[in-house]
Amino acid sequence: MEGSVMSVPRTHRVGIAGFGFIGRYLYDRMLAEPDAGLAPAFVWNRTPDRLAGLPESLVLDDLSRAGERNADLIVEVAHPDVTRAHGAQFLEAADYMPASVSALADADLEASLTAACAAAGTRLLIPHGALVGVDNLVEGQDVWKEVTITFEKHPDSIDFLESGLQPNLTERTVVFEGTTREIGRLFPRNVNTMVTCGLATVGLDACRGVLISDPALEIGIADVQAAGKEGAVLHIRKEQKMSGVSGTELLGSLYSSIRRAVGGQVGLTFV
């Protein structure tokens, strides 16, 4: 129409904290899909040699200076320690999405992050990851009475390092059964989806987490059973191939969460 002005979609700048397999995927996909409206603001990695070949203007040496890069969103794909050390500082300058959701098993840390959101008007974004049906779980958050999430994995897909446990790996074994808060502390690289489930439903101290090691499995199984206060029942089961400690769908799922993260309300938000 004559005299009209065509609006140009805004490009959202995304800081990537961690440049392993997942971080590299997110970076490459942003560059490959410029029409998605996402562009790297910076890239950081614990071992800087992984960043060789990237434009010098994108390399960040010190995460404490992330706020200087004018990112709209900072995404952690490295380790829960990044959130512990820098999460509140990130939220002073940008929205923040920790892929290592298990960091929020620390109640004090979760409280400090939500306080930082309130003070700065930013968002703590929780990616749904392998949690199918997260919208239904969140929408019924006030309805659920009991929620249990069970993971069944081959022992090679479980990182026992931080748990201190030495289970029997030659037969099907219940490795842990307890609260999602406690399992998040013991298995931070394995149970991000469990912590997400707890946050989305009855809370980390009420949601039960069960981790089963089964050497006969060639897939990973995530099973959620939620019971409502007035008799409602929701059962979600997902089976998928594994890549290391994560399901093979993680990459696309996380990228989709980043795209959904544009806009929304202040505070802890599921995407």
- The two tokens of residue 127 are 């990616």
The yes-or-no verdict on residue 149 having pLDDT over 80 is yes
The answer to whether residue 204 sits within a structural domain is yes
**pLDDT digits 0-9 by tens, 116-125:** 999 999 999 9
- The two tokens of residue 264 are 């929304």
My answer on whether 178 and 90 are in the same domain is no
My answer on whether 87 and 158 are in the same domain is no
My answer on whether 228 and 122 are in the same domain is no
The yes-or-no verdict on residue 202 having pLDDT over 80 is yes
**pLDDT digits 0-9 by tens, 243-265:** 654 545 678 888 889 988 876 66
The answer to whether residue 1 sits within a structural domain is no
Predicted local distance difference test score (pLDDT) of residue 8: 47
Provide the residue range defining the domain that includes 165.
Answer: 134-247
- The two tokens of residue 66 are 């992330």
The answer to whether residue 4 sits within a structural domain is no
My answer on whether 78 and 119 are in the same domain is yes
Residue with the larger pLDDT of the pair 169 and 63: 63
My answer on whether 184 and 222 are in the same domain is yes
My answer on whether 255 and 236 are in the same domain is no
Confidence of residue 129 (pLDDT cuts 50, 70, 90): confident
Confidence of residue 7 (pLDDT cuts 50, 70, 90): very low
Q: How many domains does the chain have?
A: 2
- Tell me the pairing of strands 267-270 and 233-240: unpaired
- Tell me the pairing of strands 246-247 and 267-270: unpaired
The pTM of this model reads: 0.89
Predicted local distance difference test score (pLDDT) of residue 181: 97
**H helices present in the chain, as ranges:** 21-32, 80-93, 107-120, 134-139, 180-186, 192-200, 250-260
My answer on whether 197 and 125 are in the same domain is no
Predicted local distance difference test score (pLDDT) of residue 131: 81
Confidence of residue 267 (pLDDT cuts 50, 70, 90): confident
The answer to whether residue 181 sits within a structural domain is yes
The mean of the pLDDT values for the chain is 90
Q: Is 199 within 8 Å of 268 (Cβ atoms)?
A: yes
My answer on whether 168 and 240 are in the same domain is yes
The yes-or-no verdict on residue 241 having pLDDT over 70 is yes
Predicted local distance difference test score (pLDDT) of residue 198: 96
Predicted local distance difference test score (pLDDT) of residue 134: 83
Give one DSSP letter per residue of 95-162, joined into a string.
EEEES-GGGGGSHHHHHHHHHHHHHHT-EEEE--TT-TTHHHHHHTTTTEEEEEEEEEE-GGG---TT
My answer on whether 117 and 146 are in the same domain is no
Confidence of residue 6 (pLDDT cuts 50, 70, 90): very low
Predicted local distance difference test score (pLDDT) of residue 128: 82
| Average pLDDT of the segment spanning 120-140 | 86
The answer to whether residue 5 sits within a structural domain is no
The yes-or-no verdict on residue 130 having pLDDT over 70 is no
Closest CA to 258 of 242, 271, 241: 271
* CATH code of the domain containing 46: 3.40.50.720
* CATH code of the domain containing 166: 3.30.360.10
My answer on whether 80 and 176 are in the same domain is no
